[in-house]
Amino acid sequence: MSDSVEYYRQFAAEFFRTTVAVDMAAIRQRFLAYIPAGARILDAGCGSGRDAKAFAALGFSVTAFDATPELASLATEHCGFEVGVRRFEDVDETAAYDGIWCCASLLHVPLSEMQDALSRLWAALAPGGTLYLSLKHGRGERLHNGRRFTDADEETIRTWFRPFAEVLGIEVWLTRDQRPERDEAWTNALVMKAPPSGRRLVTGEADHFLPHLSAAIASATEVDLAVAFIKTTGLRLLLPDLQAVLAPEAKRRVRVLTSDYLDITDPEALRLLLLLREQGADVRVFVTQGSSFHLKAYIFAVHRARRRSCRGSGPARDGYAGLSAHRARHA
């Protein structure tokens, strides 16, 4: 990888100029569909800092690094926060990030070092987290214009992650290079890490319910909330998560059922629900007419079409199918 680092040191300004404005919004949105609002994201090999800055602007806690000091300096200036200088072999965190973003950065790692790099990133990813990576579409290694490239296709990526027992699912798709002077295919992948096993009850105290609820909303394609009453203070905590689900490009569903039970629901909460309805949510209020209505249910489902896109065999496939209708309930 050292030859590639020297290349970027020499052409840092040119690389920054040609990549900082590339539109990656659609792919970022696909990644963020799995990341809870305000979560911790590592931009590993951030280059110009384009995506790190975009994540930070959306309220995420972002850590970024690049192997090239000159690029890290330019990215720091662009992002407005410190971008570190390190390589994949320097990643030694454990369960530190809810999302890891490797956009066109692993493509310079030699095949002989790829498993170590992925193992380090996987260890740094928290349970329930998601890793994004992109490489040029193809197979094997090659040299081009003074840089070493490792290309990958879907089978290659699935082979790389097969040794990791915690893989919950893998989505792989192809895109075209967004730079106007390029016409190359890129292999993109989202790799989901299984949440902690064996824990079914959230009891509060140090293990708060809100992060579990936010994570479930972020990972679901269908969100159903049915509660007897809604208070403004509680609804505001979930608004960013629900609005992210309702973003037009997300193509996901939100349904909310509440009631006038004991006149506890806040008028301001109803106004906020009307805003969600304008964004596409199905919001309904049950009129109790003096009867009892004390429902509390939160149901999150992963749509069947998304599950089918997660091909593979063994534990990864079976584990992802198990999420097709996971539930969190609060009594």
186/172 Cα distance (integer angstroms): 10
Query: What fold is seen in the domain 2-193?
Result: Rossmann fold (3.40.50)
Structure tokens at 141: 């290694």
Structure tokens at 242: 């629900």
Q: Is the pLDDT of residue 323 over 80?
A: no
> Could you tell me the end-to-end alpha-carbon distance of the chain, in angstroms, rounded to an integer?
54
291/306 Cα distance (integer angstroms): 40
Work out the average pLDDT over 214-218: 79
Torsion, Cα 138 142 147 151, to 10 degrees, reads 20
- The backbone torsions φ and ψ at residue 159, rounded to the nearest 5 degrees and listed phi first, read -65, -40
* Fold: same for 2-193 and 209-328: no
Q: If one looks up domain 209-328 in CATH, what number appears?
A: 3.30.870
Task: Give pLDDT tens digits for 223-278.
Answer: 999 999 999 999 998 888 898 888 876 678 999 999 998 999 999 999 999 999 99
pLDDT at 56: 96
Task: Give pLDDT tens digits for 223-236.
Answer: 999 999 999 999 99
Domain ranges of the chain: 2-193, 209-328
Structure tokens at 94: 């454990």
pLDDT at 320: 30
User: By the 8 A CB rule, do 74 and 16 touch?
Assistant: yes
Residue 20: partners with Cβ closer than 8 Å, 6 or more residues away: 48, 49, 50, 78
300/222 Cα distance (integer angstroms): 6
Work out the average pLDDT over 94-121: 94
- The backbone torsions φ and ψ at residue 176, rounded to the nearest 5 degrees and listed phi first, read -95, 150
Which is it for the CA torsion 293, 294, 296, 297, positive or negative?
negative
Q: Is the pLDDT of residue 47 over 80?
A: yes
270/274 Cα distance (integer angstroms): 6
